[in-house]
């Protein structure tokens, strides 16, 4: 049998303990004045002299401070002061703080939780069964909103790893990850989700698989491809937030345009050594990414028009030194901004948060919105067509569009289409019809003399082309894309909704694919069949620049 030591505490120590407990509970707040001695004495049911002795003890431990002529003020309770306050309050805390039942019977004493807001009634979660249970205590976290959220993570490198890890831990319901790269040894030093055995595997696939491991309730999907050319706009359209974990300007610019066109917010992150930045762009609220580009950056980007194949090659080769520490700081901030967006909370739209790990400084600067910025388009109503990029030909699509917009209607491609490669030295012409992304820098050279060939490209399909029998996919239009057409007076928008089920499903690594209830499938509206112009409900009107 254990013998408990007899406690030898003076009355004033007990009173000091009671007051310390009330401070820890939050009954008496830091920097606020304690009640007058007379009132406090009545409240605690002690004599004036015991109370004064108790206040002196608390004062010696710097838990409270006397201001001559005014009274006693509670001091901020941190570090060693917190421990002292706990010690003093020990006998009291057992009765005053442990009000809630808990499974273990023990709960460390500490400041009282923030009051529960009216909007969020307090639920007592089962922490032994509910993985997200502790989040119920976060005043702003809303389980249903987070579970319903669809988030697109672009890039599965160091930042993408961190972001997906955080989103998964926080209970985000649907995550789609796109990346065109495979894992190599050097990625292992800064990517929390990669393992040595993942060498040569697709980054997006491994990140998705690990997310599913972390939280099997998360629905994941991965796309192995280039975000600038292989991501249908219909995917962006169905997302709540897009998080850019990119390492190049070109891809950022594309994501910025896509997000803006679809009216979706996106969170950009960038890291280099110990520096990082986070930016939230919300269409219609302040500057967009393109607004932030300097004249020099614009000139660099213009390079792709003068020598597109080379520019593309350089982007793919660009490597920036990064560290796992900066990646986790910036990735965490990006995830947090995304969660705020999901909750409809305020975000620093159109601003940049700079983080400098060398001196641990952070500062926020606002960008100026440019009225002449080319990204500031938002698509109008979208006509959903029951068509697929794989099976529909340019001719078939043009027919529908011309019924809708008139004979002069043309399709505007988002990716340049290479029509021919000409060698001026050898006088040879290669009539290749390929999307620019599929023509390598090497292929740009003449196979005979090795000189750079002249590239003829277009981004318009008028109906005069000789290759109208080609499928949309073969000219670089991704599945579930939303195409843009105009008749010189207005733009209308057409989605390849026939691709929806296969293209956006969030069903990777689900063991019970067949059991996934239908309501989990994404369906926006009903596909529209166009038979005659009169029946066509397309109302997606955007006037050409006025
Ligand atoms: Zn802009
Ligand atoms: Zn040649």
Q: How far is the CA of 288 from the centre of ligand 1 (A)?
A: 4
The bound ligand whose nearest atom lies closest to the alpha carbon of 281 is 1
- 137 or 283: whose pLDDT is higher? 283
Rounded to an integer, what distance in angstroms lies between the CA atom of residue 415 and that of residue 418? 10
Query: Is the pTM here over 0.75, yes or no?
Result: no
Binned at pLDDT 50, 70 and 90, residue 92 comes out as low
Q: What is the mean pLDDT of residues 46-56?
A: 91
Binned at pLDDT 50, 70 and 90, residue 125 comes out as confident
pLDDT at position 112, please? 41
The bound ligand whose nearest atom lies closest to the alpha carbon of 430 is 2
Q: Is 86 left (phi over 0), alpha (psi -120 to 50) or beta?
A: alpha
The DSSP letter of residue 470 is S
pLDDT at position 313, please? 56
Residue 486 φ then ψ, to 5° = -145, 160
> Which tens digits make up the pLDDT trace of 390-445?
999 999 999 999 999 999 999 999 999 999 999 999 999 998 899 988 888 788 88
pLDDT above 70 coverage of the chain, percent: 83
Q: How far is the CA of 52 from the centre of ligand 1 (A)?
A: 65
The bound ligand whose nearest atom lies closest to the alpha carbon of 372 is 1
The region of weakest confidence among 85-99, 365-379, 405-419, 521-535 is: 521-535
Q: What is the mean pLDDT of residues 228-242?
A: 96
Q: How far is the CA of 133 from the centre of ligand 1 (A)?
A: 40
pLDDT at position 343, please? 96
Q: How far is the CA of 285 from the centre of ligand 1 (A)?
A: 10
Question: Among residues 135, 183, 132, 134, which one has the least CA distance to residue 160?
Answer: 183
The region of weakest confidence among 34-48, 105-119, 460-474, 485-499 is: 105-119
Q: What is the mean pLDDT of residues 63-91?
A: 84
pLDDT at position 493, please? 96
> Which tens digits make up the pLDDT trace of 167-195?
999 999 999 999 999 999 999 999 999 99
The bound ligand whose nearest atom lies closest to the alpha carbon of 447 is 2
Rounded to an integer, what distance in angstroms lies between the CA atom of residue 259 and that of residue 280? 12
pLDDT at position 526, please? 38
The DSSP letter of residue 271 is E
Question: Among residues 82, 108, 147, 434, which one has the least CA distance to residue 74?
Answer: 82
> 85 with 25: CB under 8 angstroms?
no
pLDDT at position 172, please? 97
Q: What is the mean pLDDT of residues 243-262?
A: 94
The bound ligand whose nearest atom lies closest to the alpha carbon of 287 is 1
Binned at pLDDT 50, 70 and 90, residue 534 comes out as very low
The bound ligand whose nearest atom lies closest to the alpha carbon of 378 is 1
Domains of the chain: 11-92 (1.10.10.10), 141-366 (3.40.50.720), 382-415+459-543 (no CATH)
Q: How far is the CA of 236 from the centre of ligand 1 (A)?
A: 18
Q: How far is the CA of 145 from the centre of ligand 1 (A)?
A: 29
Q: How far is the CA of 378 from the centre of ligand 1 (A)?
A: 12
Give Cβ neighbours of residue 115 (< 8 Å, ≥ 6 apart): none
Q: How far is the CA of 319 from the centre of ligand 1 (A)?
A: 26
Q: How far is the CA of 371 from the centre of ligand 1 (A)?
A: 7
The DSSP letter of residue 218 is S
The bound ligand whose nearest atom lies closest to the alpha carbon of 253 is 1
Q: How far is the CA of 384 from the centre of ligand 1 (A)?
A: 28
């Amino acid at each position: 049998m254990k013998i408990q030591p007899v406690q030898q505490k003076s009355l004033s120590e007990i009173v000091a303990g009671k007051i310390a407990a009330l401070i820890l509970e939050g009954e008496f707040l830091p920097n606020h004045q304690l009640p007058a001695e007379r009132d406090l004495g009545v409240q605690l049911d002690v004599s004036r002299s015991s109370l004064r002795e108790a206040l002196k003890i608390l004062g010696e431990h710097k838990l409270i401070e006397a201001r001559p002529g005014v009274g006693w003020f509670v001091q901020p309770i941190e570090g060693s002061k917190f421990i002292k306050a706990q010690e003093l309050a020990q006998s009291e805390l057992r009765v005053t703080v442990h009000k809630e039942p808990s499974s273990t019977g023990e709960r460390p004493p500490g400041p009282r939780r923030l009051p529960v807001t009216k909007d969020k009634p307090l639920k007592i979660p089962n922490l032994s069964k509910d993985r997200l249970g502790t989040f119920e205590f976060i005043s702003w976290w809303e389980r249903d909103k987070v579970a319903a959220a669809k988030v697109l993570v672009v890039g599965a490198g160091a930042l993408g790893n961190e972001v997906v890890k955080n989103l998964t831990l926080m209970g985000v319901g649907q995550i789609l990850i796109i990346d065109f790269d495979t894992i190599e040894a050097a990625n292992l030093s800064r990517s929390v989700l990669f393992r040595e055995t993942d060498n040569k595997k697709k980054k997006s696939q491994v990140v998705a698989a690990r997310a599913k491991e972390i939280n099997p309730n998360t629905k994941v999907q991965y796309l192995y491809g280039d975000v600038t050319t292989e991501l249908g706009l219909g995917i962006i359209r169905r997302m709540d937030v897009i998080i850019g974990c990119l390492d190049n300007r070109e891809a950022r610019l594309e994501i910025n345009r896509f997000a803006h066109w679809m009216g979706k917010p996106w969170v950009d992150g960038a890291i280099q050594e110990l520096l990082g930045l986070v930016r939230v762009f919300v269409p219609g609220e302040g500057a967009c990414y393109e607004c932030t580009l300097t004249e020099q950056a614009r000139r660099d980007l213009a390079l792709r028009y003068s020598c597109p194949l080379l520019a593309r090659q350089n982007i793919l080769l660009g490597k920036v030194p990064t560290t796992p520490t900066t990646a986790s700081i910036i990735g965490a901030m990006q995830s947090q901004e995304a969660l705020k967006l999901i909750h409809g909370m305020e975000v620093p739209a159109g601003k940049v948060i700079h983080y400098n790990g060398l001196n641990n400084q952070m500062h926020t600067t606002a960008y100026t919105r440019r009225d002449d910025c080319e990204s500031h388009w938002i698509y109008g109503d979208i006509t959903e067509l029951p068509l697929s990029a794989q099976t529909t030909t340019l001719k078939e699509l043009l027919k529908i569009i011309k019924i809708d917009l008139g004979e002069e209607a043309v399709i505007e491609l988002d990716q340049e289409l290479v029509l021919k490669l000409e060698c001026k030295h050898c006088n040879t012409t290669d009539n290749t019809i390929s999307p620019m992304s599929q023509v390598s820098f090497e292929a740009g050279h003449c196979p005979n003399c090795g000189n750079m060939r002249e590239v003829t490209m277009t981004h318009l399909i008028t109906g005069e082309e000789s290759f109208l029998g080609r499928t949309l996919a073969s000219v670089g239009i991704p599945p579930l894309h939303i195409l843009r057409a105009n008749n010189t007076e207005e733009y209308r928008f057409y989605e390849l909704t026939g691709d929806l089920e296969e293209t956006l499903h969030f069903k990777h690594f689900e063991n019970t694919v067949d059991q996934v209830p239908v309501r989990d499938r994404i369906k926006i509206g009903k596909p529209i069949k166009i038979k005659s112009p009169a029946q066509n409900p397309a109302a997606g009107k955007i006037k050409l620049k006025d």
